[in-house]
Amino acid sequence: MTCTAPSCPRRTTRPDRRALLPALALLALLLAPTAQALKSDRQQPLRVNAQRFVAAQDQHITKLFGDVTLQQGSLRGVASRGTVYTDAKNKVTRVVLEGSPAQLSQQLDGGGEMRSTAATIDYSPATETAILIGAAHVDQPGRGSYSGARLVYNTNTGAMQGEGASGGQVHLIFQPHDKTATPTPAKPATVAPPAVQPVRTHSGGQH
């Protein structure tokens, strides 16, 4: 029999736990402690090198070919080719690195080095962000590693964002906390056995 009275409890539909996994993974990423990037990097000049280049000055675009490197302090990118975009004042606004894969690394304030790879790394000095696209992977010592179709790394704060391809998942691996030495359990107190009283024997016959 179907219950239609107002007093009848309503049946609630429980959310699919599998549908919540991507959201929970993203929430865990946002709540994880940030591995701070080396703050002095943003005060350093941006240097780009390559074996050869082709510049289109009217479009403020320079194409780079062969052993392309990007460096700003400890921030270092490596790729087989790249593109540099500048504004009307010849200030670099964007550097795109492409390779199989392109690589980006940076020293962290707390020690260690962030290492990342992707098919394309799009770096913006103004926003201090690097967008990694295509089989993107980032390792941050003391925090974990992240893989996805698109990852965004802040070169100033070390903060991360990510998403999977076409609704797919990102993958996060968090490192365990440092284990301290396990204290040696105290030995139970040794209880001495009760003293055994000597049995006296009488020599001779009974009295």
pTM for this prediction? 0.66
Residues in the chain: 207
- What's the pLDDT at 23? 39
Question: pLDDT exceeding 70 applies to what percent of the chain?
Answer: 61
Give the whole-angstrom CA distance, residue 200 versus residue 182. Answer: 53
* Better-scored residue on pLDDT, 196 or 172: 172
Buried b / exposed e across 91-120, counting CB within 10 Å, b at 16+? ebebbbbbbebbbbebbbeeeeebebbbbb
pLDDT in tens, 7-61: 455 554 454 444 433 433 433 343 344 456 667 777 788 999 999 999 987 789 9
Domains of the chain listed by start with CATH number: 21-174 (2.60.450.10)
pLDDT in tens, 162-172: 877 666 676 66
